């Protein structure tokens, strides 16, 4: 039996509480969730325990009852069709549980979820779903996963690279769809940042190895900016040099810059270099300088379809659309839709 809207919402609130319990009992090796975490770290070297638990913390914070209630109350569920459809979700695997928000949106809208698991993240989503169905058994007939070709669906939400998004657009052209490609995030520094704010910026840059669409890949700094404080703040993430895949990327990028005699700042495990491109290679942070905020405004306008979010000191947030407080890019709320496309609205309008 399908749970009613109130029970659906309540189940996700309880899921957030259960995820906190998993985080706090992380040492129990015979626990089902812990086994999924161990499998994930063994299967995908980018899914460290640190990153998995960070993702779970973020999801748990998102599932706060007030946050969820305020978000869902924006929509009129009474207008939704009584016929419930199957929504195929092509899940990305760049960071742990990156497809959770789509999973939640589909189920809260009353539709059936059919997830195409990423080969990089095939244990954690299934375990989260298992935990949710223990809380609310009515969801069991509304959740399915596959590692193979997805079929028998009525609508699609697909997330991938810019190349795969073009393939998705062609392959799923007959279906109602949300298709997402690459995005990156930008930070704006004005030189007035406290040590705490610069440390928070380092989280925006290095959490999940900088592989998320909400990861800051480029910063704007004032002309003649002193990079010493910024580089010092990055020491919080110095342990990344112990991750062999990340460090290999750093050494490669460093070698290229040295051969080409390209000026750059070297932290010993990451590189900061001047570049006008928004997207940066793994272990590299791009920067450009400005003497007028209008320069940044023009850049944001030119890259609006490639920018996921913008981080800055709270005092600057009002100046830039989609700007949020430094240190919060990796902690989106339920209302922070990827690519700015309202997933709930899309799901409620399906016919």
pLDDT tens over the chain, length 351 residues:
456 778 999 999 999 999 999 998 765 555 889 999 999 999 999 999 999 999 999 999 999 999 999 999 999 887 665 678 999 999 999 999 999 999 999 999 999 999 999 999 999 999 999 999 999 999 999 999 999 989 999 999 999 888 888 888 888 999 999 999 899 999 999 999 999 999 999 999 999 999 999 999 999 999 999 999 999 999 999 999 999 999 999 999 999 999 999 999 999 999 999 999 999 999 999 999 999 999 999 999 999 999 999 999 988 878 887 789 999 999 999 999 998 899 999 999 997
Residues 219 and 294 in one domain: yes
Beta bridge partners of 88: 114, 156
Pairing of strands 184-188, 216-222: parallel
Residue 342 lies in a domain: no
Residue 192 placed within a domain: yes
Residue 347 in any domain: the answer is no
* Alpha-carbon torsion angle 344, 345, 348, 351, nearest 10: -130
Q: Is residue 330 part of a domain?
A: no
Looking at the structure, tell me whether residues 29 and 157 fall in a common domain.
yes
Q: Are residues 192 and 291 in the same domain?
A: yes
Verify that 170 and 72 share a domain, yes or no.
yes
The total number of structural domains that make up the chain? 2
Q: Give the Cα separation of 214 and 218 in Å (integer).
A: 11
- Tell whether 44 and 152 lie within a shared domain: yes
CATH number of the domain at 269, please.
3.40.309
For residue 127, what is the domain's CATH number?
3.40.605.10
- Domain with 239, as residue range(s), is 184-325
In degrees rounded to 5, what are phi and psi of residue 196? -65, -40
């Amino acid at each position: 039996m399908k749970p009613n809207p109130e029970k659906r919402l309540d189940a996700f609130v309880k899921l957030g509480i259960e995820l906190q319990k998993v985080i706090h009992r992380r040492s129990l090796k015979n626990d089902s969730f812990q086994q999924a975490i161990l499998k994930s770290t063994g299967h995908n070297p980018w899914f460290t325990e640190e990153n998995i638990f960070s993702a779970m913390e973020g999801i748990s914070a998102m599932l706060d009852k007030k946050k969820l209630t305020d978000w869902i109350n924006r929509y009129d569920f009474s207008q939704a069709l009584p016929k419930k459809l199957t929504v195929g979700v092509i899940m990305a695997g760049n960071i742990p549980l990156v497809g959770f928000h789509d999973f939640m949106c589909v189920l809260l809208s009353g539709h059936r979820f059919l997830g195409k698991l990423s080969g990089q993240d095939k244990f954690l989503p299934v375990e989260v779903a298992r935990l949710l169905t223990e809380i609310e058994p009515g969801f069991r007939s509304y959740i399915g996963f596959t590692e193979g070709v997805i079929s028998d669906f009525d609508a699609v939400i697909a997330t991938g690279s810019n190349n795969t998004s073009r393939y998705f657009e062609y392959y799923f052209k007959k279906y109602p769809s949300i298709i997402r490609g690459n995005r990156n995030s930008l930070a704006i520094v004005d030189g007035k940042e406290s040590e705490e704010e610069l440390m928070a910026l380092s989280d925006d840059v290095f959490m999940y190895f900088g592989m998320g669409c909400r990861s800051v890949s480029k910063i704007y700094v004032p002309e003649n900016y002193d990079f010493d404080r910024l580089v010092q703040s990055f020491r919080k993430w110095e342990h990344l040099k112990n991750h062999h895949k990340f460090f290999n990327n750093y050494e490669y990028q460093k070698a290229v810059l040295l051969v080409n005699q390209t000026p750059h700042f070297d932290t010993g495990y990451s590189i900061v270099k001047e570049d006008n491109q928004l997207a940066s290679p793994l272990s590299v942070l791009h920067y450009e300088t400005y003497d007028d905020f209008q320069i940044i405004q023009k850049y944001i306008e030119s890259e609006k379809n490639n920018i996921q979010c913008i981080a800055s000191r709270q005092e600057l947030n009002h100046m830039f659309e989609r700007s949020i407080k430094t240190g919060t890019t990796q902690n989106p709320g339920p209302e922070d839709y990827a690519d700015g496309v309202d997933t709930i609205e899309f799901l409620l309008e399906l016919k």
